[in-house]
Structure 1
Amino acid sequence: MNTMLKDMSSKMHRATSSAPELEKVLEETQRSPFTTRISEVRVHHVKNKVKLIPYNGLTDPKPFLKSLSIAINRAQFSAAERDAGSCQLLVENLTDDALNWFSRLEANTIDSYHQLTSVFLQHHSIFMVKGTSNADLWTMSQKDKEPLRKFIERFKKVVSSIVITDDAAIATLRNACSYESRFREDLVITQPATLEDALHRANRFIEVEEEKTAMAKRQPKASSSKDKSHDEHYEPRQHYDRDYAKIDKAKKAATYVVGGSDSQPSKPWNKYYRETDPKRNQAYCEFHKVSGHSTDECR
């Protein structure tokens, strides 16, 4: 019995000690950062329920606000309920860290949708991705051996994010292409009037480029290596000195073809051909593979 009483007493103590913490959590969940001007407005039911990708508070908030703005226009709120309805749509599409951030806002501090989005962007500005500018387009260039398809995809991604005239975009595209590109030459010759026309012409060159690449892979590779004669050997210059002058003269004399003309040129001093049957009674060098000096006398 004493054990049971002690156990019950311990449980009551834990429940009593955790009560303030539970009250704090309940207070935070029930607290609203909106003023009465926003919270007391009754928003009419939206006929077409808007479905947005919830914002988790860890990505760029700009795409979320853009899609939210489209949803607000589709909801067709009246002037009296526009602020309240817009705030409601934003809060309904928050999740994870973004929802925790909203629950920590001080009570009675948000009085309009503009004020809510300002605080929202201020808190999540660290996740904003730097926007594309005209400088990103002007500094583009086709990389060495970069396929035309990959380059055009990069160009489309940048040009779709900025406001630029067709003439300026075509000029930038021409300058960004590789100087060896046939597509660049086509832009100079044909001078397309619109960017759409220029990109359409690029598709033709992409098709030709990819077809040539596919055909090149099917062709057998030609062997570029040449068979080298194993009977030839070039003597390094450092092995030739004055002491071998006599031997060199003897070698030159031996290179003349028997019965040939005296003007027939001899073989170079640093090149010799392996003798198939050297005379046994002559001195022979096993290192240089020539007659004229023995291996023991070789330096």
Structure 2
Amino acid sequence: MAIYSQNEALMCKVFPSNLGPVAMRWFNSLKANSIGSYKQLTQTFCSRFITNSMVPRPLSSLLSLSMHEGETLKTYSDRYWEMYNEMDENHDDVAINTFKSGLLSEHGLRKSLTGKPVANVRQLMDRIGKYKRVEEDQLQGKGKEKIIPPKGNDYRSK
């Protein structure tokens, strides 16, 4: 798209294809000939939707996250990575340590990360994935009760 950035007419025609439903309603409500250039279109758009801008989260928001009693590893890690992705800067070393310290002290993953530390976020995510699969398997096992048919009621003998 960068090679067409000098073609304002094309940029204005392509612009709506990147909009979601709310922004598309706004775009469709613009009065005919109210926009004279692509620059004016982007400025008008930004001034209308400035409140939807994402403000990067500070490092302190990551430091305050912790796993709640009874919370699954999946739920905790989903919350954690959502917050991590909203941060503007790269804090991989802090991410590893704060994720571990946010886990419940008796959690197996915390013990694993203490005994065999990870070197980067990719390794941390891989280790979390392994523990999430074990957790999901255990949760599914709790829902399945062993059904033992009563003796003497063999449906095949009738």
Q: Give the TM-score of the pair, scaled to structure 1.
A: 0.40
- What are the residue-to-residue correspondences of 1:8-27 with 2, within 5 Å? none
How many residues are aligned here? Answer: 140
**Greater RCO, CA 8 A, separation 6+:** 2
Identity of aligned residues (%): 21
Greater radius of gyration (CA): 1
Let me know the Cα RMSD of the aligned residues: 2.9
Q: Which runs of 5+ in 2 are unaligned?
A: 147-158
Cα pair distance change 1:114/1:179, threshold 3 Å: farther
1:129 Cα offset (Å): 5.4
- What are the residue-to-residue correspondences of 1:134-145 with 2, within 5 Å? 134-145=59-70
Partner of 1:211: 137
- What are the residue-to-residue correspondences of 1:1-299 with 2, within 5 Å? 72-73=1-2, 76-77=3-4, 79=6, 81=7, 83-90=8-15, 95-100=24-29, 102-103=30-31, 106=34, 110=36, 112-126=37-51, 128=52, 130-133=54-57, 134-162=59-87, 163-218=89-144
1:190 Cα offset (Å): 1.0
* Paired residues of 2:100 and 2:110 also in contact (CA < 8 A): yes
* Paired residues of 2:67 and 2:104 also in contact (CA < 8 A): yes
1:123 Cα offset (Å): 1.7
Cα pair distance change 1:92/1:130, threshold 3 Å: closer
1:216 Cα offset (Å): 4.2
Pick the structure with more helix per residue: 2
* Paired residues of 2:16 and 2:27 also in contact (CA < 8 A): no
Which residue identity is paired with 2:119? A
Which residue identity is paired with 2:100? R
Q: Distance in 2 between matches of 1:92 and 1:205?
A: 41
Which ranges of 4 or more aligned residues in structure 1 deviate by more than 4 Å?
A: 91-94, 216-220
Q: Give the TM-score of the pair, scaled to structure 2.
A: 0.69
* Paired residues of 1:132 and 1:158 also in contact (CA < 8 A): no
| Cα deviation digits, residues 47-78 of structure 1 (max 9, x gap) | xxxxxxxxxxxxxxxxxxxxxxxxx33xx227
